[in-house]
Chains A and B, each alone.
Chain A
Amino acid sequence: MTMAEEFDAIVVGSGITGGWAAKELTERGMRVLMIERGRMVEHQADYKNELVPPWEMPFRGLGDPALNRRDYAFQSKGMHFTEWSRDHFVNDRENPYKTAPDNPFQWRRGYQLGGRSLTWGRQCYRWSDIDFGANKADGHGVDWPIRYADLAPWYDHVESFIGVSGSKEGLEQLPDGIFQPPMPLNPVEVALKGRIAHKWPDRHLIMGRSANMTQERPGRAPCQYRNICARGCSFGAYFSTQSSTLPAATATGRLTVVTDALVDSLDYDPKVRRITGVRVIAAAGRKRTTYRSRMVFLCAGSINSVSVLLRSASEAMPHGLANSSGVLGRFLMDHALSMSVTARVRGFEKHVYFGNRPSSIIIPRFVNVTQQVDGLLRGYSFQGGATRRGWADSINEVGLGEELKAQASQPGDWTMLLGAFAECLPYADNRVALDYKNLDPFGLAQTRIEFSYGANESRLLAHARDEAKAMLGLMDADILSASADPGQGGTAVHEMGGARMGRDPATSVLNAHNQAHDIANLFVTDGAAMSSSACQNPSLTYMALTARAAAFAAEQVKSGRI
């Protein structure tokens, strides 16, 4: 074992929050080491499949089925996983975890520099006081130690930097932000928006707020409407670590990046109640190194950050680091996601569009905001959109020859999808733990995920299905499918919780600044910190929390408290 150079801060992980932590800390004068367990991915140069046409891909973009079954059993089920983007997802066989075989948690992962910032869905929504006050209001979970006013300036800070396209709507449940011009709605969406507004003035169909830019920023071009973001974007048109935070952090001259290095655990000195080192195992050769710093930011993603803390158990903290409350690993959440309704819409046959809009519409939550519903806690929001089908619709049609060729080459039916993201309540039994009987290739206990949805999530999705049918019933439309099935946990890729924030050290892991109650120089700023799940995509909130925590941590260092 070697004792490596001392840094002001070590950031574990290089995804959305790791990049933000590195940027904010280096810009505040700190020397930062960023540790990434996966390989280096250079912006632009390493997006190998970005421009490869389907006819040059071995399986035309659909992926090698044998390889996917063997190595990508979980990842290949995700919506952004394709033959082109496969390299941005983890090899499940080489990186195993334990989960219930009959209801497996779908843990989507990207072990490379940039993490899942390369493959995320890019939807950016502020949370409101309805969300930050939800736990206190109905007693499920602990009260958030912050409110919207605490985070609002940090939302401003993040949005200004990453570039978010969207429209200001003045909605209580979805606060406005600093937006670039929104992407446009297509004619079916415009029509549905109008009809919904006419029947339900409190419901709003609006363009999604997305980290796909509509205006350029320094070093980054606006969106080119390709909708192949997960391959990597050489235009830098969507926010990723590579396009945005890493260049900013690197420009300070105070960032060191180590890739291919797995963080095993954190060293803790009970005498001073501080983290003293970060133990790392090199992917190649398994050489062990301990890096030292004044503080640590855990940004490895909710489940991996919790796993690091659990692996860091010691005599002083036998149940895991920063776990005097006993809640570490518990209250894992993921949005309950269902394809509520798909419908074929008539009346727009003479309309087409050009380009691939990489963003969806959203109908923000109205349940228990403007419409109180007995028997339902919290709420849901819809995302989706209208598209005009293509040649794939001919797959199930009779016909051959020139007639089929001509027919398949025409624009097909308009279809509209409304999918619901329902808030998942925090349940103690939904948890991350370690399985010491099953080790991973590094010799570490595998992560075990126990997760299931509850009755409230099912009721929300059933309500969402019925409301989606009612809304699409305003159009001349045939319902093709309707569902209230939440599917398996992890499908929404919005895993949250496990090291929740709270006011009381007896019932939470982190304080109002994402600082461990038990350890002053330990911060956890990824999704693990979340105390509730709301029904909006959470990444923007992770970023704002990270930036806020970094500013606080830097002040603590300056004032000598850390």
Chain B
Amino acid sequence: MDQPGLRLSRREALEQAARWMAVVGAVSVVMPAVALGTEVASPGDEALGGMVLALLGHVIPETDTPGAGNPDNVQFVMRAVSDGLLGVRPDTLMHLHHDLRQVASGPFEQLPHMAQAVALAKIDVETFGPAQPAITPWLSTKALILIAYFTSEAGASQQLRYEIVPGRFDPDLPLDKDWKPLSNDWAANAIKKGIA
């Protein structure tokens, strides 16, 4: 039974998975049956923003290049969710906040870093574990975080290589340990939605 405003129905899950397929191309998405949740209260934008900032840092931390945790990426993820980018439901973050709170001892954004990591790892394994990806708020949010990072200046041009004018096509090069893929390889990252 569909419950508007709550978790995805199976039909919606299939539709959302199809939209993701259009974005991620050959990525394999396996649809499980989706359990229905109960209505949750919104913790407010400030709390959600704090959660997203923390999530960005956990998913893509700073290494020799910057991590994903910055206000621009928070703004992108929040806006993407609220505007329904790629079919993500606008209540996704609210439900994720609820889910994380269920596996932790308090609001995610207020937890110590290690406690956040433990809670998030549990949700991540449940979603992407050995069986199959589950259609959960974390699935959508993690996807938006990866999009946010690899389309940001740091992700696209420091962690990866951004050359908007390659000037040549070398069809067959040996892969060496220092190789950085082009972030602007649109086909590889399925920004294109089909064949030429």
A interface footprint on B9-53 (CB within 8 Å = 1, 0 otherwise): 000000000001001111111000000000000000000000000
Chain B residues near A350 (CB-CB < 8 A): 174-175
Chain B residues near A349 (CB-CB < 8 A): 175
Partner of A62, one of B86, B179, B194, B195: B86
A187 to B120, CA, bound (A): 40
Residue of A nearest to B86 (CB): A62
CB distance from A5 to the nearest CB of B (A): 41
B interface footprint on A287-320 (CB within 8 Å = 1, 0 otherwise): 0000000000000000000000000000000000
A393 to B72, CA, bound (A): 23
Chain A residues near B189 (CB-CB < 8 A): 389-392
Residue of A59, A388, A419, A480 with highest tally of chain B CB at under 10 A: A59
Chain A residues near B187 (CB-CB < 8 A): 227, 356, 385, 387
A interface footprint on B167-196 (CB within 8 Å = 1, 0 otherwise): 111111111000111111111111111111
The reply to whether A79 and B193 contact each other, CB–CB distance below 8 Å, is yes
A228 interface residue (CB < 8 Å to B): yes
Chain A residues near B28 (CB-CB < 8 A): 396, 480
Partner of A402, one of B61, B148, B173, B192: B61
Chain A residues near B169 (CB-CB < 8 A): 183-184, 225, 353-357
A55 to B147, CA, bound (A): 11
A102 interface residue (CB < 8 Å to B): no
The reply to whether B27 and A411 contact each other, CB–CB distance below 8 Å, is no
Partner of A480, one of B26, B117, B153, B174: B26
The reply to whether A226 and B61 contact each other, CB–CB distance below 8 Å, is no
A276 interface residue (CB < 8 Å to B): no
The reply to whether B172 and A66 contact each other, CB–CB distance below 8 Å, is no
Chain A residues near B24 (CB-CB < 8 A): 392-393, 395-396
A390 to B174, CA, bound (A): 17
A415 to B190, CA, bound (A): 12
A183 to B172, CA, bound (A): 13
Residue of B nearest to A419 (CB): B195
Chain A residues near B156 (CB-CB < 8 A): 53-55
Interface stretch of the complex, out of B94-102, B103-111, B158-166: B158-166
Residue of A nearest to B84 (CB): A65
A78 to B196, CA, bound (A): 11
The reply to whether B196 and A360 contact each other, CB–CB distance below 8 Å, is yes
Interface residues of B in 41-93 (CB under 8 A from A): 58-61, 63, 67, 72, 76, 79-80, 83-86
Partner of B181, one of A82, A342, A410: A410
The reply to whether B160 and A391 contact each other, CB–CB distance below 8 Å, is yes
Contact size range, A? 35 or more
A186 interface residue (CB < 8 Å to B): yes
The reply to whether A225 and B166 contact each other, CB–CB distance below 8 Å, is yes
A interface footprint on B109-129 (CB within 8 Å = 1, 0 otherwise): 000000001001100110111
Interface residues of A in 147-201 (CB under 8 A from B): 183-187, 190
The reply to whether B165 and A224 contact each other, CB–CB distance below 8 Å, is yes
Given the interface pairs A339-B194, A396-B29, A480-B28, the reply to whether A226 lies near B164 with Cβ below 8 Å is: yes
Interface residues of B in 123-147 (CB under 8 A from A): 124-125, 127-129, 133, 139, 142-143, 146-147
Residue of A nearest to B57 (CB): A401
Given the interface pairs A351-B175, A398-B129, the reply to whether A412 lies near B188 with Cβ below 8 Å is: yes
Chain A residues near B80 (CB-CB < 8 A): 59
The reply to whether A400 and B59 contact each other, CB–CB distance below 8 Å, is yes
The reply to whether A405 and B60 contact each other, CB–CB distance below 8 Å, is yes
The reply to whether A396 and B188 contact each other, CB–CB distance below 8 Å, is no
Chain B residues near A224 (CB-CB < 8 A): 165-167
A4 interface residue (CB < 8 Å to B): no
The reply to whether A401 and B61 contact each other, CB–CB distance below 8 Å, is yes
CB distance from A473 to the nearest CB of B (A): 17
Partner of B26, one of A391, A408, A413: A413
Residue of A nearest to B127 (CB): A398
Partner of A53, one of B59, B86, B153: B153
B interface footprint on A374-388 (CB within 8 Å = 1, 0 otherwise): 000000000111011
The reply to whether B58 and A395 contact each other, CB–CB distance below 8 Å, is no
Given the interface pairs A356-B166, A396-B128, the reply to whether A62 lies near B147 with Cβ below 8 Å is: yes
Residue of A nearest to B63 (CB): A402
Partner of B83, one of A64, A184, A352, A401: A64
A397 interface residue (CB < 8 Å to B): yes
CB distance from B53 to the nearest CB of A (A): 15
A370 interface residue (CB < 8 Å to B): no
Chain B residues near A185 (CB-CB < 8 A): 171
The reply to whether B124 and A400 contact each other, CB–CB distance below 8 Å, is yes
The reply to whether A351 and B159 contact each other, CB–CB distance below 8 Å, is no
Residue of B nearest to A408 (CB): B146
CB distance from A400 to the nearest CB of B (A): 6
A357 to B187, CA, bound (A): 9
A359 interface residue (CB < 8 Å to B): yes
Partner of B165, one of A80, A226, A410: A226
Chain A residues near B150 (CB-CB < 8 A): 390-392, 408
B interface footprint on A22-62 (CB within 8 Å = 1, 0 otherwise): 00000000000000000000000000000101110011111
Given the interface pairs A391-B189, A480-B28, the reply to whether A60 lies near B147 with Cβ below 8 Å is: yes
The reply to whether B160 and A417 contact each other, CB–CB distance below 8 Å, is no
Given the interface pairs A357-B169, A392-B25, the reply to whether A51 lies near B164 with Cβ below 8 Å is: yes
Partner of A122, one of B61, B168, B196: B196
The reply to whether A400 and B171 contact each other, CB–CB distance below 8 Å, is no
CB distance from A548 to the nearest CB of B (A): 27
Residue of A349, A352, A415, A481 with highest tally of chain B CB at under 10 A: A352
Chain A residues near B174 (CB-CB < 8 A): 350-352
A208 interface residue (CB < 8 Å to B): yes
Given the interface pairs A79-B193, A226-B165, A401-B59, the reply to whether A409 lies near B180 with Cβ below 8 Å is: yes
15 residue pairs A–B, Cβ–Cβ below 8 Å: A79-B194, A351-B172, A351-B174, A355-B168, A355-B182, A356-B184, A357-B169, A385-B187, A387-B185, A387-B188, A389-B189, A392-B146, A401-B117, A408-B150, A411-B179
Task: For the complex of A and B, list the 5 residue pairs with the smallest distance between their C-beta atoms, beginning with the closest.
Answer: A398-B128, A355-B169, A390-B188, A79-B194, A60-B151
Known: A228-B186, A342-B25, A417-B26. 7 other contacts (CB 8 A): A53-B164, A61-B191, A65-B83, A390-B185, A395-B142, A405-B63, A410-B181
